[in-house]
Amino acid sequence: MKRRPSSSRLSKLLRAADEVRKNAHAPYSKFKVGAAVQAGGRIFAAPNVENSSYPLSICAERNAVGMAVAAGHDRIQAIAVMGPGRKSTAPCGGCRQVIWELSDPDTTVPVVYAADDGPVVTTTIGDLLPSPFGPGNLRSAARARPRRRRSGAV
């Protein structure tokens, strides 16, 4: 049976996310975010890194997941996200997909997120991304028989 992070472990992850967001590079939006991932019993924390070419910016969640992967982990046990303001900072859609991809197949990996003056929200990646795209979709497409094009059709 896999050990799920305890409430105190999630609190520790959230504190790590809050601490690392001081290092965020957010000169344009000023929206500093930190994330912390538990993988292999270790914590990997990282901030967001903005770029003047906005699509090149990297969310804190993907940075933290990338650190865990770089350390040799292919599964995460929990993730915490901390942002500024009053509204709790949930992972964006792209980050939800990345988190799901590295979560256990049962999708009960805990996700805790908060903001300076916002409530602490605890949920699961399955609740945040109820209909994910994953390896099963790719396998299914590979098995599908390709359709033939009719000659002369425009």
| Listed residue (71, 73, 28) closest to 48, CA to CA | 28
Structure letter (DSSP) for residue 102: T
**CATH code linked to domain 7-141:** 3.40.140.10
Which residues carry out catalysis? 61
- The per-residue pLDDT for range 10-34, each reduced to its tens digit, is 999 999 999 999 999 999 999 999 9
| pTM, 2 dp | 0.85
Q: How far apart are CA 25 and CA 130, in angstroms?
A: 31
- The per-residue pLDDT for range 120-137, each reduced to its tens digit, is 999 999 999 998 888 878
Q: How far apart are CA 10 and CA 93, in angstroms?
A: 21
- Domain boundary assignment for the chain: 7-141
Residue corresponding to tokens 């964006």: 92
* Integer Rg of the chain from CA: 18
**131 CA to centre of own chain:** 15
